[in-house]
Structure 1
Amino acid sequence: MTTLDNRPNTALLVVDVQNGVVEGAHERDAVVANIGTLVDRARAAGTAVVWVQHNDEELVAGGEKWAYVPELKRLESEPLVQKEYGDSFEATELEDILAARGIGRLVVAGAQTDMCIRSTLHGALARGYDATLVADAHTTEDLSSFGAPPPALVVAHTNLYWKFQTAPGRTAGIVTTEEADFTAPAG
């Protein structure tokens, strides 16, 4: 159960599913389809969907690489958080957006597994949120030429690692797209 007072609500946090981030990502189409399913299910349950979009020298605001993939459509009423760091909370208005909506539980999906997803999960847990990773709805590119394991192993290791995360008064863990339940109460 979240350690944040008066935060019983849940949000689906969709992180950096941008053209330039996922263009060569592991199982890109399946992951994007799963995220689309999660978005549809969250909306149907009345759960907030919050979108995060990375900005840097390669993902220049307004550019094609910066844009979200065409398969995913954000509703105008859904918040869009612009960020420059791996952790979606760092130097952004994400915390204010979540607080205003009474959100204490995050269901996280997106890219990249070994960068922004891990950073955001840790940032959420450290700030008092319950943070659940959707095991089949995150991905990364192949960074093995830099010494990283192949992307399938990065995804698998992150799922294993997050499955056993704990913190006082907070929950973490993983679910699949099929198991994600947006009607369940937080905690």
Structure 2
Amino acid sequence: MRSELRERGGKTALVVIDVQNGVVADGWNAEGVISRIATLIAAARESGRPVVYIQHEQLLETPGFDDLEVGSDAWRIHEAVAPAAGEAVVAKRHADAFIETTLEDTLTGLGAGHLILTGAQSDACVRSTSYGALRAGYDITLVSDAHTTSDRPTDAGVIAAEQIIAHLNLANQFIDYPETTSRVMPHSAVAHELMVVVTK
């Protein structure tokens, strides 16, 4: 595989999923994850690559999202990774950011064919959006240390957030969709590649 941001079919875009005050408040190592996402945002901007933000909106019938009312502090994107003027913010109401949103049109307009995925929650919107991206024909890179979630109680006991994150990192290495590539890399390697691969 050639090095190593694959830009087959278009440019690389950094996608920041649901890094909202009410979503990341209880996330595992949230401060560190947000800091690493901020590093990637800076690298993307410096290298001329687009940054696309995903922002979940409240649905009254959606358990766990009662506090994400549009305009509320919980709904707002965390100030450390706030969009710059002109950067795309895509509203969503489902875990997969490709469902009933403007995301695909936005990416098409940007000429993006490879998506770098970061954000929250690992086991919900990050996972669903990564699969949605592959189904839509995008190459993806999941940034292994730039997504987060919270501990999850289950019938079998509590699953620690660290385990959930590690499992998604593992699972995404084995995803096999036709004519797409799924990679998992730490933010340091992704930031380096953003700076050394020539923008198309």
Task: State TM-score, norm by structure 2.
Answer: 0.86
Matches within 5 A, 1:48-87: 48-56=50-58, 57-87=66-96
Q: Structure 1 residues 71 and 93 mapped into 2: Cα distance closer, same or farther (>3 Å)?
A: same
Task: Tell me which moved more, 81-90 or 176-185.
Answer: 176-185
1:36 is matched with which residue?
38
Distance 1:12 1:148, change over 3 A: farther
Deviating above 3 A after TM superposition, structure 1's stretches of 4 or more consecutive aligned residues are 145-148, 183-186
Residue identity (%): 38
Letter in 2 for 1:30: G
Task: State how 1:56-135 maps to structure 2 within 5 Å.
Answer: 56=58, 57-135=66-144
Counterpart check, 1:160 vs 2:166: no
Q: 146-155 or 75-84, which moves further after superposition?
A: 146-155
Structure-1 separation of matches of 2:110 and 2:82: 21
Q: Pick from 140, 165, 171: which aligns with 2:149? A: 140
- Change beyond 3 A, Cα 1:185–1:174: farther
| Residue 23 (structure 1) aligned to one of 25, 34, 38 | 25
Distance 2:168 2:152 in 1: 15
Distance in 1 (alpha carbons) for counterparts of 2:68 and 2:89: 16
The offset of 1:145, in angstroms, is 5.6
What's the offset of the Cα at 1:185? 6.7
Show the counterpart of 2:197.
184
Match of 1:150 among 142, 145, 160: 160
**Separation in 1, partners of 2:130, 2:182:** 9
Query: Partner of 1:173: helix, strand, or coil?
Result: strand
| Count of residues paired in the alignment | 182
Deviations 1:88-137 (A, max 9, x none): 11100000010111111000000000000000000000010001100000
Gaps of 5+ in 1: none
Cα-Cα RMSD: 1.8
Distance in 1 between residues matched to 2:24 and 2:111, nearest whole Å: 31
Cα 1:20–1:41, aligned 2, differ >3 Å: closer, same or farther?
A: same
Could you tell me which runs of 5 or more consecutive residues in structure 2 were left unpaired when the two chains were aligned: 2-7, 59-65
Instruction: Find the counterpart in structure 2 of residue 12 from structure 1.
Output: 14
One-letter code of the match for 1:17? V
